[in-house]
């Protein structure tokens, strides 16, 4: 997972920032219009498109900033927009409090099909919003509840199929398993056991029984605090990485 900061894509400073603490979930968007297919072979064009979109939003629409929480390019990189904990301007009047917004860099013509890397990046961006911004479980398209073609046929079809992670279950046993480990109720499975084993390797006392209950949640919160993450007691992608693949000290 590669997250590109606002400074790295040379974003303009926002005119205003409105804070929120949670949402029901995330809505998926597309650029619309024509997106240059050359994005797939030239990452600099992705950064250029971010700056163009921010210009449209701030100068054309009069909005305070780039409208979305994150954007994801065909290479799977996550480009930071407003980020977690900030009200978006992308979902339509009356709809911005309920959902964050993630943009996939595809359009109505030109580049219309999201790459597998883009879909993975969208899911990773959603996970960041869940862990850091209080996003709920919903994943919807922009057109859900608002009259628009966004996020286009391909992306909306993917959302309607439940936004599956391309390639199915990861082959790497240390890779993010693609689901949240939480309590209550107790979450059970081999992925729980792998996370518990990793927590024990970090020095936490915990039974490795494949059942994510109150003791696992307590350890999870301790790991999250040590890693500077929100201590919600839920093992999402960032908490999994902090446990299974912690940075070298």
Per-residue model confidence (pLDDT) at position 189: 83
3-state secondary structure of 187: strand
CATH of 3-160, one of 3.30.70.2190, 3.40.50.970, 3.30.360.10, 3.40.80.10: 3.40.80.10
Residues of the chain with confidence (pLDDT) below 50: 169-171
Q: What are the sequence ranges of the domains in the chain?
A: 3-160, 187-244
Which DSSP category does 248 fall into? P
Per-residue model confidence (pLDDT) at position 145: 86
3-state secondary structure of 127: helix
CATH topology of domain 187-244: Muramoyl-pentapeptide Carboxypeptidase; domain 1 (1.10.101)
Return the axis-axis angle of helices 116-133 and 237-244, rounded to nearest 10°.
Answer: 90
Do residues 242 and 225 make contact, with C-beta atoms less than 8 angstroms apart? Answer: no
3-state secondary structure of 58: helix
Give me the residues paired with residue 211 across strands. 188
Do residues 112 and 79 make contact, with C-beta atoms less than 8 angstroms apart? Answer: no
Question: What stretches of the chain show up as alpha helix (H) in DSSP?
Answer: 6-9, 43-55, 116-133, 152-160, 190-201, 214-227, 237-244
Question: Alpha-carbon distance 246 to 29, whole Å?
Answer: 32
Per-residue model confidence (pLDDT) at position 247: 76
Per-residue model confidence (pLDDT) at position 172: 63
Q: Cα angle vertex 131, ends 129, 203, to 5°?
A: 155
Tokens of 9: 């894509």
Per-residue model confidence (pLDDT) at position 46: 96
Question: Alpha-carbon distance 210 to 106, whole Å?
Answer: 40
Per-residue model confidence (pLDDT) at position 167: 72
Question: Alpha-carbon distance 214 to 225, whole Å?
Answer: 17
């Amino acid at each position: 997972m590669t997250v590109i900061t606002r400074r790295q894509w040379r974003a303009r400073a926002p005119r205003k920032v409105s804070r929120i603490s949670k949402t029901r979930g995330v809505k998926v968007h597309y650029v619309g219009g024509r997106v240059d297919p050359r994005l797939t072979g030239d990452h600099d064009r992705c950064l250029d498109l971010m700056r163009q979109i921010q210009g449209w939003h701030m100068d054309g629409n009069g909005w305070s900033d780039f409208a979305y929480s994150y954007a994801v390019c065909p290479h799977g990189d996550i480009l930071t927009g407003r980020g977690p904990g900030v009200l978006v301007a992308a979902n339509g009047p009356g709809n911005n409090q309920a959902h964050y917004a993630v943009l996939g860099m595809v359009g109505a013509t030109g580049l219309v099909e999201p790459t597998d890397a883009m879909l993975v990046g969208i899911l990773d961006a959603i996970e960041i919003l869940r862990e850091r911004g209080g996003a709920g479980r919903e994943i919807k398209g922009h057109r859900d509840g608002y009259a628009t073609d966004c996020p286009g046929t391909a992306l909306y079809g993917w959302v309607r199929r439940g936004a599956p992670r391309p390639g199915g279950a990861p082959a790497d046993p240390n890779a993010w398993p693609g689901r949240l480990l939480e309590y209550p109720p107790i979450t059970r499975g081999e992925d729980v056991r792998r996370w518990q084993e990793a927590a024990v390797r970090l020095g936490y006392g915990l039974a490795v029984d494949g059942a994510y209950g109150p003791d696992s949640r307590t350890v999870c919160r301790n790991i999250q605090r040590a890693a500077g993450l929100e201590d919600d007691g839920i093992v999402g992608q960032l908490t999994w990485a902090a446990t299974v693949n912690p940075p070298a000290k």
